[in-house]
A and B are shown apart, each in its own frame.
Chain A
Amino acid sequence: MHSKATLGLKVAAMCGLLFLHLPILLIFVYAFTTEDKSYQWPPPGLTLQWFGVTWNRPDVWEALGLSLRVAAISTVIAMVLGTLCAAAVARFRFFGRETISLLVILPIALPGIITGISLRSAFNIADIPFSFWTIVLGHATFCIVVVYNNAVARFRRTSSSLVEASMDLGATYFQTLRFVIMPNIATALLAGGMLAFALSFDEVIVTTFTAGQQQTLPIWMLEELVRPRQRPVTNVVALLVVLVTFVPILAAYYLTRGTETVAGQGK
């Protein structure tokens, strides 16, 4: 095997990467355009004016606030449930173990619209009014798998003899949890939490079914895409959303870099 790639393969791979990135980069340019009625290219001029306009839009702030609150609470719930589930699946052999790992993955393996309409039907039948908590219920459900994937990979990599060694040296289950298990899985949990946050912050398909009248930031954007009101503001919000989601993704990457399973491979 020659260790150098052929030119054709190199070009195809690079073009593929460019295809993945150019459209996102385009958003960066549009956020500065002076044109406010159409999507004209190339932009007739560049301005920072729309950042100021966006700053003064209360609806954007409200949607952002709701998205952050939903993401934070969903992440906390998903981290607790995902970690418990990962610990059980990685450390015990029991009847129905395979079923549990399937059940965890199902909410993202099936199309989001299924999760969405299922939850909506259930809220309907159970007569639950839409609220902040109905959004959280949906988000936490599909965020569990992200935390679970990260945690289960780390549990498997951490030798089970560490737990035995700790107990052998006199530590109870609680001391072992605090002094051995937590320090060893902390970065994986944090990475899982970051990814769960990013997933929730960005989610729109399930949310449209569980939100009622409330607008998360993605719902706000969807409204703007379907019925554009002020395009430049949408451009600026799009740019900010990209930047905000990059932070947790990069953080998750650096937290788990160098380990066998780098975070983020199972969205």
Chain B
Amino acid sequence: MSDTTSAPSRISDAFWRQPTILLLLLVTPPLLWLGIVYLGSLFALLAQSFFSIDEFTGLVRYEFTLKTYAELLRASNFDILIRTIVMASAVTIASAIIAFPIAYYAARYARGRWKAVFYLGIMLPLWSSYLVKVYSWKLILAKEGILNWFFETLYLSWILEAYLAIPVVGGNSLSVSWTGTFLVFVYVWLPFMILPVQAALERVPPSMLEASGDLGASSGQTLRHVILPLALPGIIAGSIFTFSLTMGDYIIPQIVGTSARMIGQAVYQFQGTAGNIPLAAAFAVVPIFVMGIYLTLAKRAGAFDAL
């Protein structure tokens, strides 16, 4: 039997008699860190958004005002919000469409070695460097890059030119167009969509699909009425990532895209070169707000079980 007098032994006894002590010891350090560093910072941000900038001195006036939020509604700023939300939605929908077959194949058919191939095939792009991924698209979309070369070699350059002539989505070249920005977003966030969809599909028992076929459904009907509804929580879970990440990104549209800004860039520029921290803060509150609504809706749809 263990020695009853040594310090570790006495502390151990105290843990047993009063488990709350142990719980507090476990939970206090992470809670202090996240509470002070993270929540504290979020509150600092929120506080900043209620200050304003003095137009004459350019200094922050530390008085409560809603003026900064009103500025968000100015046409040029409001455009930024709308543009960002449209882009985030488009990226989310495209990711879901591309992700589904990969996730479905990986969940339902990949076995043994192929399972590992699919697993790593999704994990490695997910975890490999974000900047390198963006950079690789700069290489692909550049005028002298591989994509143009591909179209030229096949004598199809006219297709590309016709596409670039379309207003809004087109531009001088793909690397300075909205299409370019969109492609890179889809590429970079795609793994975040695949994984939750795959997780949701893996929980569908094969017998359920057999039952659907047994009851006379064609494979198309089974897909529409059985598989898609069951994959939906996974798609919603994935969309939380693709939507949120697109909304907050400022690097991709800066490197591949037009000069029109998105929320991330606005935040970055207002706090940096413009020195207007209150407006940057107010811009940053928009994604928090949108994500708050999104998460509430997603929670109701049961998406968190698929995370």
Contact = CB atoms under 8 A, between A and B. Distances in A.
B125 to A, nearest CB: 4
A48 interface: no
A66 to B, nearest CB: 15
B128 A246 contact: yes
A87 interface: yes
B138 A110 contact: no
B104 interface: yes
Nearest to B122: A20
Given A117-B280, A245-B129, A1 B22 contact: no
A154 interface: no
Q: Which one of B104, B118, B132 has the highest number of Cβ atoms from chain A below 10 Å of its Cβ?
A: B132
A167 to B, nearest CB: 8
Interface residues of A, number: 92
A45 interface: no
B263 to A, nearest CB: 8
A205 B219 CA distance: 44
A110 B244 contact: yes
B132 A238 contact: yes
Contacts of B82: none
B8 A172 contact: yes
Given A81-B30, A110-B291, A117-B45, A267 B281 contact: no
B144 A119 contact: no
Interface string B103-137: 01110110000000011111111111111111111
B288 A121 contact: no
Contacts of B86: none
Contacts of A46: none
B101 A12 contact: yes
Interface string A78-100: 00111011011000101000001
B127 A198 contact: yes
Main secondary structure on chain B at its contact with chain A?
helix
Interface stretch (B70-78, B159-167, B248-256): B248-256
B234 interface: no
A59 B82 CA distance: 40
Kindly state the interface size class of chain B when it binds its partner: 35 or more
Contact of A238 (B23, B26, B135): B135
A118 B16 contact: no
Contact of A17 (B42, B102, B136, B195): B102
Nearest to A171: B2
A87 B15 CA distance: 15
B93 interface: no
A85 B281 contact: no
Contact of B128 (A24, A110, A171): A24
A43 to B, nearest CB: 10
Nearest to A145: B34
Given A39-B139, A107-B38, A173-B22, A202 B30 contact: no
Nearest to B292: A110
Contacts of A198: 127
A250 B121 CA distance: 11
Given A1-B210, A42-B149, A245-B127, A113 B9 contact: no
Contacts of B248: 110-114, 205
A39 B131 contact: no
Contacts of A242: 128-129, 132
Contact of A109 (B30, B119, B124, B291): B291
Contact of B9 (A42, A106, A172): A172
B101 to A, nearest CB: 4
A246 B9 CA distance: 44
Contacts of A117: 45, 267, 271, 280-281, 284
Q: Which one of A121, A199, A226, A238 has the highest number of Cβ atoms from chain B below 10 Å of its Cβ?
A: A121
Interface in A228-267: 234, 238, 241-242, 245-246, 249-250, 253, 262, 264-267
Given A205-B250, A221-B132, 9 more contacts: A16-B190, A23-B136, A26-B146, A40-B144, A110-B291, A111-B248, A114-B248, A117-B271, A119-B41
Lowest 8 CB-CB distances: which A-B pairs, in order? A111-B248, A13-B105, A12-B101, A118-B41, A172-B12, A23-B136, A16-B102, A122-B41
13 contacts: A12-B105, A17-B118, A41-B145, A87-B26, A88-B27, A88-B30, A100-B27, A113-B249, A114-B248, A167-B16, A205-B249, A218-B129, A253-B119
Interface of A: 1, 3-6, 9-10, 12-13, 16-17, 19-21, 23-24, 26-27, 30, 38-42, 77, 80-82, 84-85, 87-88, 92, 94, 100, 103-104, 106-107, 109-115, 117-122, 124-125, 137, 140-141, 144, 167, 170-175, 195, 198-199, 202, 204-205, 208-209, 218, 221-222, 225-226, 234, 238, 241-242, 245-246, 249-250, 253, 262, 264-267
